[in-house]
């Protein structure tokens, strides 16, 4: 291995984890970067990484220690931006990869941010609310010198929500001596949150779906849609497709898979999920084997749950013409190639689910100016940004005859490396 590609000593070369997948994606795009390829190593090395010990007193009087991270992958285009994940399986490699994908996503929609991500190795379901608050506050204090409205702005991710953001904002504000609403996004509306943020990711998924349908001659009226995950992202996307005249024929979540060839009653299903916690047992549907979900007769498939759901084992069964990735990393690289060979168009996560960070950007702008926009203004601006970004990526895919995933990486990496080149190396 050449010195230029040497892996950092803190990673195990035999088990690179998600960071290894990201490195492969960068290698795939390097031939398209022209003279900017000179700078590509900058994308393969996170700028800064902080590993912190987070000790808290548990309700029973014992002291527990948790491992926390904040990674700033690239800050060439602006302050770091990316969520905080609370999960027992979080690793440094995962946070590194997620921070890098944030760099790509932010550059793809051209919002003025670099990429960052954070996490704590903890199963928050095992903590009381008071313990969760202490954990969040101590973690925020530990990364306090690293983050800030002009430095790095966290947001919710898996198992973190508006309440966690409120504690983070309060802790940072108490430590710095001034209320700093712009230090995190995804806050409750009363604390400087933005209208439209909750639905933003699903709305972005729908927006790129509409654009791709137009470009490929797929009519949304009557189109059959299957959705995996009916939470924030999948539920909103399903609702918007149904409102556009599509039929949501199958939905899968952690409680099971439901099917109705005439189309499920989506508003009633959302209410059922709100009341019961999942889609299982919904009246007006038949239950289906979880494994059969991937072979459902549909035009549009929206994975909006977890990573690595579309694999080499089920990609061959997929009948959809269009796959829109609401989740982060739902398709493995092998499955990606199978779908491409079958002629299935995949709208990749790095553009398809960028609606969330786009409205997070609006939230941050509104916090800085202390002037808040209407929901209609927010949705209109979101749709415009997503449409423009998608059109640019589509053109690059056509020009180079590459997948939309590679095209998104080309657009984003060029923006990041161009900024790097213009700024030059300090000192």
Ligand X SMILES: NC(=O)c1ccc[n+]([C@@H]2O[C@H](COP(=O)([O-])OP(=O)(O)OC[C@H]3O[C@@H](n4cnc5c(N)ncnc54)[C@H](O)[C@@H]3O)[C@@H](O)[C@H]2O)c1
For residues 128 and 309, what is the distance between their CA atoms, to the nearest angstrom?
Answer: 31
Asked if residue 328 binds ligand X (CB under 6 A), the reply is yes
Tell which residue, 360, 347, 355, 350, has the closest CA to residue 233: 355
Q: Given the residues 117, 187, 239, 321, select the one marked as catalytic.
A: 117
Beta bridge partner(s), residue 156:
84
Residue number, nearest CB to ligand X: 231
Asked if residue 231 binds ligand X (CB under 6 A), the reply is yes
Containing H/E element for 272?
helix 266-276
Place of tokens 């005859």: 401
Work out how close the CB of 85 gets to ligand X at its nearest, in angstroms, rounded to a whole number.
8
Work out how close the CB of 40 gets to ligand X at its nearest, in angstroms, rounded to a whole number.
26
Contacting residues for 311 by C-beta, under 8 A, at least 6 apart: 332, 334, 335
Tell which residue, 330, 345, 331, has the closest CA to residue 300: 345
Q: Which of 230, 294, 373, 394 binds ligand X (CB under 6 A)?
A: 230
Tell which residue, 193, 10, 19, has the closest CA to residue 98: 19
For residues 180 and 118, what is the distance between their CA atoms, to the nearest angstrom?
Answer: 19
Kind of pairing, strands 256-259 and 247-253?
Answer: antiparallel
- Size of residue set near ligand X by CB under 6 A: 21
By beta-carbon proximity to ligand X, the closer residue of 162 and 231 is 231
Work out how close the CB of 194 gets to ligand X at its nearest, in angstroms, rounded to a whole number.
12
**Contact status, residue 367 vs residue 344, Cβ threshold 8 Å:** no
Q: Which of 78, 192, 326, 348 binds ligand X (CB under 6 A)?
A: 326
* Residue 125 is a catalytic residue: no
Q: Which of 114, 229, 238, 348 binds ligand X (CB under 6 A)?
A: 229
Binding mask 172-211 for ligand X (x = CB under 6 A): -----------------------------x----------
Work out how close the CB of 356 gets to ligand X at its nearest, in angstroms, rounded to a whole number.
3
Give the footprint of ligand X on residues 232-261 (CB under 6 A). Answer: 232-234, 252-254
Asked if residue 146 binds ligand X (CB under 6 A), the reply is no
For residues 121 and 1, what is the distance between their CA atoms, to the nearest angstrom?
Answer: 32
Q: Which of 102, 183, 249, 305 binds ligand X (CB under 6 A)?
A: 305
Which stretches of the chain bind ligand X, using CB under 6 A?
158, 201, 228-234, 252-254, 278, 304-306, 326-328, 353, 356
Annotated active-site positions, please? Answer: 117
């Amino acid at each position: 291995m050449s010195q230029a590609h040497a892996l950092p000593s803190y990673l195990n070369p035999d088990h690179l984890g998600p960071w290894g997948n990201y490195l492969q994606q960068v290698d795939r795009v390097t031939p398209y970067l022209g003279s900017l390829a000179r700078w590509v190593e900058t994308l393969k090395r996170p700028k800064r990484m902080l590993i912190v010990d987070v000790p808290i007193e548990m309700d029973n009087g014992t002291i527990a220690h948790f491992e926390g991270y904040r990674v700033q992958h690239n800050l060439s285009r602006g302050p770091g931006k990316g969520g905080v994940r609370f999960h027992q399986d979080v690793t440094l490699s995962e946070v590194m990869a997620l921070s890098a994908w944030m760099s790509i996503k932010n550059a793809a929609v051209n919002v003025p941010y670099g990429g960052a991500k954070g996490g704590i190795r903890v199963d928050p379901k095992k903590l009381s609310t008071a313990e969760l608050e202490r954990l969040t506050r101590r973690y925020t204090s530990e990364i306090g010198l690293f983050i800030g409205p002009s430095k790095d702005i966290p947001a919710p991710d898996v198992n973190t929500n508006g309440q966690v953001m409120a504690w983070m904002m309060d802790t940072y504000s108490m430590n710095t001596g001034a209320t700093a609403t712009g230090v995190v996004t995804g806050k409750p509306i009363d604390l400087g949150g933005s209208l439209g943020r909750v639905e933003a990711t699903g709305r972005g998924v729908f927006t790129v779906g509409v654009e791709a349908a137009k470009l490929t001659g797929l009519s949304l009226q009557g189109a059959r849609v299957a959705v995996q995950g009916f939470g924030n992202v999948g539920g909103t996307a399903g609702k918007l497709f149904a409102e556009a005249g599509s039929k949501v024929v199958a939905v899968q979540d952690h409680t099971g898979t439901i099917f109705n060839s005439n189309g499920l009653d989506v508003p009633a299903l959302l209410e059922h999920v709100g009341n019961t916690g999942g889609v299982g047992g919904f009246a007006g549907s038949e239950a289906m084997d979880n494994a059969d979900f991937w072979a459902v007769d549909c035009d549009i498939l929206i994975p909006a749950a977890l990573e690595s759901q579309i694999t080499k084992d089920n990609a061959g069964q997929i009948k959809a013409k269009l796959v829109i990735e609401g989740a982060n990393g739902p398709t493995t690289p092998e499955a990606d190639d199978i779908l491409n060979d079958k002629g299935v168009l995949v709208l990749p996560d790095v553009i398809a689910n960028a609606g969330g960070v786009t409205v997070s950007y609006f939230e941050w702008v509104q916090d800085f100016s202390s002037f808040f926009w209407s929901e209609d203004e927010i949705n209109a601006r979101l749709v415009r940004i997503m449409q423009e970004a998608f059109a640019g990526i589509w053109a690059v895919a056509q020009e180079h005859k590459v997948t939309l995933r590679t095209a998104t990486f080309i657009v984003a990496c060029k923006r990041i490396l161009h900024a790097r080149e213009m700024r030059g190396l300090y000192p």
